[in-house]
């Protein structure tokens, strides 16, 4: 259940989404992580959104509309890790994408190594001044996938 702050952030993000279509980069990122060979399920198991960034919440909404499970957190990934990801990753590796602060990606990447996964895509996004809580942490789009299993267009 979202708290009041997350609800306000999501409302602002959805308002922004209605007036600003996805950028070319955001659309390409979505297509990359949703791509799957014909007749197979999509490669993406979940999307992780950092509620500190309106852009991340907009992308979460777009992925949710495509039937992707969305996990969100508000700066501190500990509750997400303890409440959902630790259990999910113990059951086996998965493919996750996200748009989060660089600080959160560092933590998720470190935890992923212990579960046979690694970052297969990482791109710092140019969104200076857009963090909703006024901080100064760079925003990064990323994909974490099992070692040896990467989305077909990733390097």
Q: What is the pLDDT of residues 28-64, one digit of tens each?
A: 565 655 554 444 445 788 999 999 888 889 889 888 8
Domain assignment present for 7: no
Q: What is the pLDDT of residues 93-140, one digit of tens each?
A: 888 999 999 999 999 999 999 999 999 889 888 765 455 555 678 889
Angstrom distance (rounded) from CA 44 to CA 57: 17
Domain assignment present for 105: yes
Domain assignment present for 1: no
Domain assignment present for 18: no
Domain assignment present for 15: no
Domain assignment present for 12: no
Please, are residues 57 and 13 in contact by the beta-carbon 8 Å criterion? yes
- Can you list the positions of beta strands (E) in 58-151? 69-73, 96-101, 117-125, 139-146
Half-sphere exposure of 142 (CA within 13 A, CB side): 27
Q: What is the extent of the structural domain holding 127?
A: 23-146
Question: In angstroms, what CA-CA distances link 119 with 87, 93, 97, 123, 140?
Answer: 19, 12, 9, 11, 12
Number of domains in the chain: 1
Domain assignment present for 92: yes
Question: In angstroms, what CA-CA distances link 2 with 39, 65, 72?
Answer: 35, 18, 9
| CATH at residue 98 | 3.40.190
């Amino acid at each position: 259940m979202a708290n009041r702050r997350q609800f306000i952030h999501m409302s602002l993000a959805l308002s922004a989404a209605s007036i600003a279509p996805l950028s070319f980069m955001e659309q390409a990122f979505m297509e990359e992580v949703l791509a799957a060979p014909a007749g197979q399920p999509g490669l993406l198991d979940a999307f992780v959104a950092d509620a500190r960034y309106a852009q991340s919440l907009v992308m979460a909404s777009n992925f949710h509309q495509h039937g992707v499970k969305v996990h969100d957190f508000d700066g501190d990934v500990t509750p997400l890790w303890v409440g959902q990801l630790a259990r999910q990753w113990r059951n086996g590796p998965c493919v996750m994408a996200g748009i989060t602060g660089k600080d959160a990606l560092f933590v998720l990447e470190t935890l992923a190594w212990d579960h046979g996964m690694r970052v297969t895509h990482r791109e710092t996004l140019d969104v200076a001044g857009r963090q909703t809580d006024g901080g100064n942490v760079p925003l990064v789009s990323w994909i974490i996938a099992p070692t040896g299993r990467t989305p077909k267009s990733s390097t």
